[in-house]
C-alpha cells in the first residue's frame, strides 16, 4: 500500500504546520487547522503531469542561447481584458479570475469563450451552474453557440483526461472552489483541495500548452479563498470588482507574470451581458451643469492611460471635540498630512472643522497626484466657492508646501483637453512646451500660488 503523508493546513490562510495546534501561527485564526492526507499516489501522478520534470529536456543553457521569440498572445476579443492581462492571453498560462458572487465572472468568461471558440478549441467546464443554465444564458446574450464545448464535471482528474482527448487551446474552470482531486480527503472549497486542484490544473496547462481560466470566489474580507496558496502557482491573478448596485465593473491584476499589474479594465453590466467601456473618463465624470463648491476634477494615471475622476470634499463646522477626518477612495493618512500642510503653508486653519473627502464613482485613488486636487477641493468647500466647470487639477504636494511634478503630465493634460477642460492647474514641472490651442495651463511651484490662482 502506498504510504501517505500527513500535513496540517490552516483553512483560512493555507499555512502548513508540522502538528495540529489550536491557533494558526501565520494568521492567528483559531480552530482553522485541519489534517490533510497527501497520498504519495497524488504526488506520483502530479509528477507525471509536471511540465518541469517530464516535458522539458534537462539541458543547461546560457541566457543568450534561450530563444527570445515571444509567445504569440491570443486576443480575448475584449481590449479591456487584454490590457489587464498585459497584451492578451499567454498560451499555457493559468489565470485566476476572482470576484464577489454576481460580479460577472461567469458571464465575462462565457462571452470570451464563445468568441474564441471560432478560432480554436475551447472547453468550458462548469461545476456551479448546470449546462442548461449556461446554454440559456448564452442564447439570451445572443452568443454563437455552435463551437464552444461544454462539460459539467467537478473531478480534476476527469477534467484533465477529457481535455487531453479534446485538446482545447483554452479552458475555463468555473469554479476552483467546486472541483476536487480524488486523493485528498477534505471537502471541495477547503484550502487543501483548492491548492491541489489549482496546482494540478496549472501543471496541466503548462505541459499541454492550454491557457486555463480559473474562476475563484472572494471571501467576505475581500480576499480570494486561499489566496496565498493559489497565488504562487498561477501566472496571473485578476480581480473583477464592483458592487451589484452599480453597473460598472473594474478589473485589475494583482499578480501578472507577463505584464504590469497596475492596469485597469472597465466593463459595464448591461441587459446583454458585459460590455467594454473604452472611454472610462466619461463615465466617472457624471457632472451636472450646476457648479458646486468642494468638487474638483482630477486626472489620475491608471497603468498606461489617464483617467478623469471627480473628487469631492465637504468641510463643515464640527460639533465634536475631535473633528472628523474621513476619506473614501483616498488615503486617510494623506488627508491628515495635507490638512497640516494647508495650515502651515496655505494659512488655512481647519482644526475646528469636520472634513470629508470622497472620490465619485467608487474609484480608488492611491496616487500622490491627487494631493493638490484634494487640497483645492477642501479649500473650495471651506470658502464655499465653486471652481469653474472647465478646471482640472493634479500634482503632488510636499511637506514644505511645494508642488511636485508627477509622471505623464502631457498625457494627462491631453486627456483633460479631449474631454473639454480648458483650464489646468498643474505643477510647474509638468507644464508642457507646446500647449494645446485653447487651453490655459497654470504652472505652480508652491501651494500658496495654487490657492491664489484659483480663489
Which residues make beta-bridge pairs with 97? 215, 238
442 by Cβ neighbours in 10 Å (0-12 / 13-18 / 19+) ranks as: middle
Q: With respect to ligand TYD, which residue has the nearer C-beta, 110 or 299? A: 110
* Choices 11-19, 101-109, 116-124, 415-423 (CB under 5 A): range interacting with Mg ion: 101-109
Answer yes or no whether residue 269 interacts with ligand TYD by CB under 6 A: yes
- Choosing from 98, 99, 265, 329, the residue that interacts with ligand TYD (CB under 6 A) is 99
Answer yes or no whether residue 106 interacts with ligand TYD by CB under 6 A: yes
Alpha-helical (H) ranges within 179-242 are 191-208, 227-231
Q: Could you tell which of ligand TYD, Mg ion, none binds residue 206, using a CB distance below 5 to 8 A set by kind?
A: none
Q: With respect to ligand TYD, which residue has the nearer C-beta, 151 or 215? A: 215
* Choices 99-107, 161-169, 221-229, 233-241 (CB under 5 A): range interacting with Mg ion: 99-107
**Backbone region of residue 159 per phi and psi (left: phi > 0; alpha: psi in -120 to 50; beta: other values):** alpha
Q: How many residues belong to the site for ligand TYD (CB under 6 A)?
A: 15
* 324 grid coordinates: 472628523
- Choosing from 76, 93, 106, 126, the residue that interacts with Mg ion (CB under 5 A) is 106
Rounded CA separation 148/116 (Å): 8
Q: Could you tell which of Mg ion, ligand TYD, none binds residue 104, using a CB distance below 5 to 8 A set by kind?
A: ligand TYD
Q: With respect to ligand TYD, which residue has the nearer C-beta, 250 or 381? A: 250
* 119 grid coordinates: 478560432
Cα atoms found within 13 Å of the Cα of residue 127, Cβ hemisphere only = 20
Q: With respect to ligand TYD, which residue has the nearer C-beta, 105 or 206? A: 105
Answer yes or no whether residue 126 interacts with Mg ion by CB under 5 A: no
Least distance between ligand TYD and beta carbon 11 (Å): 22
Per-residue x/- track, 131-170, ligand TYD (CB under 6 A): ------x---x-----------------------------
Q: Measuring CA to CA, how many Å separate 204 from each of 69, 74, 94, 163, 170? A: 23, 19, 9, 9, 12
Least distance between ligand TYD and beta carbon 280 (Å): 19
CA dihedral 151, 123, 175, 177 (to 10 degrees): 70
- Choosing from 35, 44, 101, 452, the residue that interacts with ligand TYD (CB under 6 A) is 101
Least distance between ligand TYD and beta carbon 219 (Å): 14
Rounded CA separation 242/363 (Å): 10
Using DSSP's 3-state secondary structure scheme, residue 412 falls into: helix
Least distance between ligand TYD and beta carbon 81 (Å): 14
Rounded CA separation 158/212 (Å): 16
Rounded CA separation 299/230 (Å): 35
Q: Could you tell which of ligand TYD, Mg ion, none binds residue 99, using a CB distance below 5 to 8 A set by kind?
A: ligand TYD
Q: Please, are residues 394 and 442 in contact by the beta-carbon 8 Å criterion?
A: no
**Number of neighbouring beta carbons within 10 Å of residue 52:** 11
List the Cα angle 376/378/380 in 5-degree steps.
Answer: 65
Rounded CA separation 266/284 (Å): 11
Rounded CA separation 317/5 (Å): 65
Answer yes or no whether residue 177 interacts with Mg ion by CB under 5 A: no
Using DSSP's 3-state secondary structure scheme, residue 181 falls into: coil
* Choices 117-125, 267-275, 303-311, 397-405 (CB under 6 A): range interacting with ligand TYD: 267-275
Least distance between ligand TYD and beta carbon 140 (Å): 7
Q: With respect to ligand TYD, which residue has the nearer C-beta, 128 or 316? A: 128
Per-residue x/- track, 223-262, ligand TYD (CB under 6 A): ---------------------x------------------
Residues in region 354-413 near Mg ion by CB under 5 A? none
Answer yes or no whether residue 105 interacts with ligand TYD by CB under 6 A: yes
- Choosing from 271, 321, 420, 438, the residue that interacts with ligand TYD (CB under 6 A) is 271
Least distance between Mg ion and beta carbon 277 (Å): 21
Answer yes or no whether residue 104 interacts with ligand TYD by CB under 6 A: yes
Rounded CA separation 147/116 (Å): 9
Answer yes or no whether residue 222 interacts with ligand TYD by CB under 6 A: no
List the Cα angle 283/360/367 in 5-degree steps.
Answer: 100
- Catalog residues that contact ligand TYD under the rule CB under 6 A: 99, 101-107, 137, 141, 244, 269, 271-273
- Catalog residues that contact Mg ion under the rule CB under 5 A: 106
Amino acid at each position: 500500500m502506498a504510504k501517505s503523508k500527513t500535513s496540517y493546513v490552516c483553512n483560512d490562510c493555507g499555512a502548513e504546520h508540522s502538528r495540529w495546534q489550536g491557533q494558526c501561527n501565520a494568521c492567528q485564526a483559531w480552530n482553522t487547522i485541519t489534517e490533510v492526507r497527501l497520498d504519495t499516489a497524488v504526488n506520483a501522478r502530479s509528477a507525471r503531469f509536471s511540465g518541469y520534470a517530464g516535458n522539458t529536456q534537462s539541458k543547461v543553457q546560457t541566457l543568450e542561447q534561450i530563444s527570445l521569440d515571444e509567445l504569440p498572445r491570443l486576443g480575448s476579443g475584449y481590449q479591456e481584458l487584454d490590457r489587464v492581462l498585459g497584451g492578451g492571453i499567454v498560451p499555457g498560462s493559468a489565470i485566476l479570475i476572482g470576484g464577489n458572487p454576481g460580479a460577472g465572472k461567469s458571464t465575462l468568461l462565457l462571452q470570451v469563450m464563445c468568441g474564441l471558440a471560432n478560432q480554436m478549441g475551447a472547453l468550458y467546464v462548469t461545476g456551479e451552474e448546470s449546462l442548461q443554465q449556461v446554454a440559456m444564458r448564452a442564447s439570451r446574450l445572443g452568443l454563437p453557440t455552435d463551437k464552444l464545448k461544454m462539460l459539467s464535471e467537478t473531478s480534476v482528474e476527469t477534467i484533465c483526461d477529457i481535455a487531453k482527448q479534446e485538446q482545447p487551446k483554452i479552458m475555463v474552470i468555473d469554479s476552483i472552489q467546486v472541483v476536487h482531486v480524488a486523493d485528498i480527503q477534505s471537502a471541495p472549497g477547503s484550502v487543501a483541495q483548492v491548492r491541489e486542484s489549482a496546482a494540478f490544473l496549472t501543471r496541466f496547462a503548462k505541459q499541454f500548452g492550454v491557457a486555463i481560466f480559473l474562476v475563484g470566489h472572494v471571501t467576505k474580507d475581500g480576499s480570494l479563498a486561499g489566496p496565498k496558496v493559489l497565488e504562487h502557482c498561477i501566472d496571473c491573478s485578476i480581480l473583477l470588482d464592483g458592487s451589484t448596485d452599480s453597473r460598472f465593473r473594474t478589473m485589475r491584476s494583482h499578480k501578472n507574470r507577463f505584464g504590469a499589474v497596475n492596469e485597469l479594465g472597465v466593463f459595464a453590466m448591461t441587459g446583454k451581458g458585459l460590455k467594454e467601456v473604452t472611454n472610462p473618463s466619461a463615465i466617472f465624470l457624471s457632472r451636472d451643469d450646476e457648479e458646486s463648491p468642494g468638487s474638483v476634477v482630477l486626472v489620475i494615471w491608471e497603468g498606461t492611460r489617464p483617467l478623469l475622476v471627480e473628487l469631492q470634499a465637504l468641510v463643515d463646522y464640527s460639533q465634536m471635540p475631535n473633528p472628523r477626518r474621513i476619506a473614501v477612495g483616498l488615503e486617510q493618512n494623506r488627508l491628515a498630512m495635507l490638512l497640516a500642510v494647508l495650515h502651515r503653508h496655505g494659512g488655512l486653519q481647519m482644526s475646528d472643522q469636520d472634513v470629508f473627502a470622497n472620490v465619485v464613482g467608487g474609484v480608488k485613488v492611491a496616487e500622490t497626484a491627487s494631493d493638490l486636487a484634494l487640497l483645492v477641493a477642501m479649500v473650495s468647500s471651506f470658502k464655499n466657492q465653486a471652481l469653474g466647470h472647465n478646471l482640472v487639477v493634479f500634482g503632488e504636494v510636499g511637506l514644505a508646501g511645494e508642488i511636485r511634478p508627477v509622471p505623464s503630465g502631457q498625457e494627462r493634460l491631453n486627456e483633460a483637453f479631449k474631454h473639454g477642460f480648458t483650464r489646468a492647474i498643474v505643477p510647474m514641472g509638468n507644464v508642457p512646451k507646446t500647449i494645446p490651442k485653447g487651453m490655459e495651463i497654470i504652472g505652480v511651484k508652491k501651494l500658496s500660488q495654487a490657492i491664489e490662482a484659483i480663489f
